[in-house]
Structure 1
Amino acid sequence: MHAITIERPGGPEALRWTEVPDPAPAAGEVLIEVVAAGVNRADALQRQGNYPPPKDAPPYPGLEVSGRVRALGEGVHGWQVGQEVCALLGGGGYAQLALAPAGQLLPVPKNVDLIEAAGLPEVAATVFSNVVDLARLQPGETLLVHGGGSGIGTFAVQLGKALGAEVVATARAGKHQRLLELGADRVIDYTAEDFSKITQADVVLDIMGGGYLKQNVDALKAGGRLVVIGLQGGRRGELDLGQLLVKRALVAGTTLRARSAAEKAAIVRGVREEIWPLVEEGMVRPVIDERFPMTAAAEAHRLLESNEHFGKILLTAV
């Protein structure tokens, strides 16, 4: 088969369409003929040499795919060869064939195109595990979503509304109208306004990390929960513990890729039980900005790193 390999850590030009050995499913795994793969910020970090894959994952980037089951490993039940699926991976999605633990497979939701389904597993698992499972967002609460125009952001905005929350998002001015159309109640231009002075939130979903830490805590209501899932604004920030105590607030940080297979399987079960019905009802949908052929992965990464996209970027089979 062919896969996108990383010739050396560096810019998008380091990505190469290369012939590599065909994978074979081990016990508990499923081999997927890839139709499309989602492009994520973690893929760019891996390309740069800053986010190595887990030891048991392929070296190729790609954390989510959609496609058809090609073969089942020993002990796998409940899936059939030829079935259309999407899956959360530890890596290896930028390829013609990909392996996934059976517990990380999902059926393609009704009324979702097979290619567009590739843009669902990573964002659904990330938002569900943090906003629903960890932060316990409740109807009537306020959810603040940073990076509202990203894949995670567009999904979180929709899910927050579907769960009955008021949703505030931060984004560049050019993305405001589309976020309002997705269901955001208010959008803040982070380049011109200090969000912590104009909104108060019960739950904050943050991709910036240290650069936003103080403002995020300032923006929390009493009993608020801040969940940090990215470090685009740096690894370090100053935290006023007295303010945290007075607000009875929670600050948590999580990643998805490094979790065990058992933890990921539990998250995927939750997504299938609680999120997939909302997708099938049309309350939440994949938002796709652009599709590139797999061989044009470098172009897809350039778009990702420009921050000009809205929603997900996909790579399609060639």
Structure 2
Amino acid sequence: MVQLAKWAGAHLTATAGLSSIERVRRLGAARVIDYTSVSLVSALSGMIEPVDVVINVVAASEAEMLALFERLRNGGALVSATTPVPPVAAQRGVRAARMASRSDAAQLATLVRLEEGGQLEVFISDQRPLTELPEVHELAETGKLHGKTIFVP
């Protein structure tokens, strides 16, 4: 997500755990918040400038979603992959959307070109038999999995 936002021209503030901070910076984030040492709400309250877009890809409490919403400029956009967007978003002209994946051959071709051209790094952390899918899912849910896992038959 960081790489694609950077590729699109965004100036990024991202969250990451301690073990991922340097990688997230290297991938394009200008500012990285260590969510293991400070709450998202506290970190956001220290930001002076509002932002144009917030993309949330982790489960967040209602208070965290409202804090994200409060950091947006009027007319900004709040996209969430997990937590519903606060209903008050429309009051400030904020565009709100739930993120979902879809099959799109043109987008996939763009991603392949970016990766082949060295503009997109795919971090593959492991290769496992498909029979280990439940264990890998559990690792991902507990935050112990970093990067992508390739499953083989």
Same fold (TM over 0.5): yes
Q: Residue 152 of structure 1 aligns with which residue?
A: none
Q: Residue 105 of structure 2 aligns with which residue?
A: 268
Distance 1:245 1:302, change over 3 A: closer
Verify the 8 A CA contact 1:195 1:215 in the aligned structure 2. no
Q: How does 1:184-199 map to 2 (within 5 A)?
A: 184-191=29-36, 192-193=38-39, 194-199=42-47
Distance 1:198 1:281, change over 3 A: farther
| 1:183 equivalent in alignment to 2:19 | no
Q: Out of 127, 133, 140, which is 1:297 matched to?
A: 133
Residue identity (%): 27
Q: Which letter does structure 1 place at the counterpart of 2:44?
A: S
| 1:240 equivalent in alignment to 2:76 | no
CA distance in 2, matches of 1:275, 1:311: 17
Larger radius of gyration: 1
- How far the C-alpha of 1:307 sits from its partner, in A, is 0.5
Q: Out of 184, 201, 218, which is 2:51 matched to?
A: 201
TM-score (norm 2): 0.79
CA distance in 2, matches of 1:312, 1:181: 18
Larger RCO (alpha carbons 8 Å, 6+ apart): 1
Q: Which letter does structure 2 place at the counterpart of 1:204?
A: V
Q: In the comparison of the two structures, how many residue pairs are matched? A: 146
| 1:255 equivalent in alignment to 2:100 | yes
What is the SS of the residue equivalent to 2:29? coil
- How far the C-alpha of 1:268 sits from its partner, in A, is 2.7
Q: Out of 117, 124, 131, which is 1:288 matched to?
A: 124
Structure 1, unaligned runs of 5 or more: 1-155, 257-263
Q: Which letter does structure 1 place at the counterpart of 2:12?
A: V
Q: Which letter does structure 1 place at the counterpart of 2:27?
A: L
Verify the 8 A CA contact 1:161 1:167 in the aligned structure 2. yes
Calculate the aligned-residue CA RMSD, in Å: 2.4
What is the SS of the residue equivalent to 2:15? strand
Q: Residue 16 of structure 2 aligns with which residue?
A: 171
What is the SS of the residue equivalent to 2:55? strand
- How far the C-alpha of 1:209 sits from its partner, in A, is 5.2
1:75-106 per-residue CA deviation (whole Å, 9 max, x = no partner) reads xxxxxxxxxxxxxxxxxxxxxxxxxxxxxxxx
- Structure (1/2) with the larger helix percentage: 2
Q: How does 1:93-132 map to 2 (within 5 A)?
A: none
